[in-house]
Structure 1
């Protein structure tokens, strides 16, 4: 069987996001009743930057959805939110499923390098894949099929499930708009807005990005 040649995208579908508001001390973001600490974000940023340096990928060769801290924070929030959505809907992804997907994509190094273009630190790759595979399964189950109409319906229903687990970012990291992603801020310099939320995952069978090429944002 021909290996699946696509990296699944976490669908950031109509999540309830608030750019500012009271957060627990030391929190970079809250996801439902869980929090992403500033220390977790700092560790993720260091891991990401070290991986970029080791891979000799210049920062200007990737189009991250924001600055490095913003891109990493967005991915950590996506992972947390869609992991919670999956568990709430009884979707459990085994380590074997993740291993099989990595093998189909050419191995750990290939997957890690491709996901760097999305702002995913190597230490978070398995969690990202777990959340992404879970989201893809829910889209199929909620939509009742894999054709275009079913996929669209599944994404919409998944968005409603995601709304039950709102995400709130600490304003010190910038302003996030649900429709545009991170919006320009003088404090953080010029940034590239993230792809609009609710965007469909890449079609099955689509080739993964070449090394050093930025995958679709989000």
Structure 2
């Protein structure tokens, strides 16, 4: 998927694939991975995200190990897409926004911290399962999340607001991907609540 950073959720995620499209259908409809607030996340969009990561992993010297360690990549990508949609709505309701300049500044900070583009891309791939063209959208995700935490004065209050947003929008998941956990704001079963993790500086990649 060809992504460009610092776009709105509709632009950033629709730029490369038909991620969200208005519909009133249930997730059981063929080609639908989930429905959030009446907008569907397509299975093809999830698969495109996975394909980009697998291609990057295959180019990496650690490719086989990275692929083996990310067997649940499809679920992780879907979970992240759902969480971003919820973040965008919660941020809009709270009057919180992330500008293009802020994403660009954070990108430059990360590049400097990592020691260059190659090192940053290696770290993103190994630590966060991100293909190079997914890094900026992930940066926007984290900036939105952390701004929302700051807006409500604490992580706990922001998370409660996100839960209310998810309840208001209704998250419907295709059973193929498991179940939605409203408490964790993520996929149930083996899902991981990445949305609850405050951003920390990226660790350098050994040997990068």
RMSD, matched Cα = 3.1
- Structure 1 or 2: larger helix share? 2
- The 3 A distance-change label for structure 1 pair 128 and 167 is farther
Q: Does 1:157 align with 2:154?
A: no
Q: Write out the 4+ residue segments of structure 1 that deviate beyond 6 Å after TM superposition.
A: none
TM-score, scaled relative to structure 1: 0.64
Q: CA deviation at 1:110?
A: 4.3
Question: What are the within-5 Å matches in structure 2 for residues 52-71 of structure 1?
Answer: 52-58=57-63, 60-61=65-66, 63-64=69-70, 67-71=72-76
Q: Does 1:195 align with 2:200?
A: no
Instruction: Give the direction of change, closer, same or farther, for the CA distance of 1:198–1:50 in structure 2 (3 Å limit).
Output: closer
| Counterpart residue number, 1:211 | 205
Taking the aligned partners of 1:115 and 1:39, their CA distance within structure 2 comes to 23
1:157 Cα offset (Å): 3.2
Residues 36 and 137 from structure 1, CA distance in 2 versus in 1: closer, same or farther, beyond 3 angstroms? same
Please give the TM-score of this superposition, normalised by the length of structure 2: 0.67
Q: Which runs of 5+ in 2 are unaligned?
A: 1-24
Give how far 1:97 is off: 0.6
Shift of 1:196: 4.5
For residues 181 and 161 of structure 2, what CA distance do their matches in structure 1 show?
Answer: 21
Match of 2:140 among 130, 133, 149: 130
Secondary structure at the aligned position of 1:105 is classed as: helix
In the alignment, the residues of structure 2 paired with residue 46 and residue 208 of structure 1 have an alpha-carbon distance, to the nearest angstrom, of 24
Instruction: Return the structure number with greater relative CO, CA threshold 8 A, min gap 6.
Output: 1
